[in-house]
Structure 1
């Protein structure tokens, strides 16, 4: 008889216990989602930096080849051309060439080349969460610079 009475009172959660469980799981979920977003942003920044590093390396190699042969005209063309063409692979998020690209017009994130001002631009997934705004997008531009009468160089401008 005593065992029947003990089991009768232990039927399940009370409303208070259930609300505490829901509150704790909501807090844990919110913290986890915040961390996931942070790591997604860091992965996007790292991927963009990887593409810039590959562009710089490819550009330095090609410019060195052309400068060693004294091909100034080809160096000038290299500075005006789309730097993505130097890579043996195109980034998966390369979207093509757009004149004066605006993130709202394109509708997706990735690299675009602006032939108007010869700049490679990165459009982030979420401009609000990045440390720069849409007006200060990540830009990669190659410029032809003559340091003296005998040396030729290409200058890479990132910002």
Structure 2
């Protein structure tokens, strides 16, 4: 009986030893996420680089769209001011035509269009004699006393194509329109067919 019990106890010890997991060495370090080949971490180094590259591309595309919409907002604001000036010009022209004051009508071409507005826009910087694009901050209006033109200096110009001057601005002038048959003849008040507030040179702003 004693011998049988001893064999059984020895067998249990052997089985228990086989079920025990080997102890982890104290010198073994945990795997690093920067290890090029690791089966125990979430990402390998290559996968991490790919993820960062994809996120960078998406962030760049998002910023590009944000800048595009900001530029479109600037363009829309400028067009709205130009439209308000055109409306004010037509009202001025109609009022002067009723009164029949030829000199005042002809003087519209030299007036500062901002004077026709009940309230000037906040980004109007005033009058300058023979200004340059650096005379005012980008995104502002100014009146050129020498050329008698209203000028808008473009701020965001990624999609802006300037005219022949090559400057990043848009110059507006008042154009007194006349009947085609009277262009070469003597210019009289009755020959006028209207007024137009238009760019002095063509440009493109996508």
2:172 equivalent in structure 1 = 140
Task: List per-residue Cα deviations over 1:9-58 (Å, max 9, x = no partner).
Answer: 65543322321221111000111111111112211111111111111111
2:85 equivalent in structure 1 = 55
1:5 equivalent in structure 2 = none
Distance 2:67 2:168 in 1: 21
Q: Is the 8 A contact 1:109 1:125 kept in 2?
A: yes
RMSD value over aligned CA atoms?
2.7
1:156 equivalent in structure 2 = 197
2:96 equivalent in structure 1 = 66
Further displaced range: 54-63 or 147-156 = 147-156
Structure 1 stretches of 4+ with a deviation exceeding 6 A read: none
Deviation of the 1:136 alpha carbon: 6.7
Deviation of the 1:144 alpha carbon: 4.4
Distance 1:66 1:151 in 2: 14
Name the one with the larger helix percent. Answer: 1
The secondary structure found in structure 2 opposite 1:53 is helix
Task: List per-residue Cα deviations over 1:60-118 (Å, max 9, x = no partner).
Answer: 01110111111222223332211011112212211111122212343433111001111
Further displaced range: 9-18 or 47-56 = 9-18
Distance 1:19 1:46 in 2: 41
1:4 equivalent in structure 2 = none
With structure 1 as the length reference, what TM-score do the two structures score? 0.80
Distance 2:160 2:72 in 1: 9
Distance 2:156 2:108 in 1: 32
Q: Is the 8 A contact 2:85 2:113 kept in 1?
A: yes
Q: Rg: which structure is higher?
A: 2
Deviation of the 1:121 alpha carbon: 0.8
Distance 2:48 2:93 in 1: 67
1:85 equivalent in structure 2 = 115
With structure 2 as the length reference, what TM-score do the two structures score? 0.64
Deviation of the 1:155 alpha carbon: 4.2
In the alignment, structure 2 segments of 5+ residues that lack a partner are 1-19, 21-30, 32-38, 183-187, 202-206
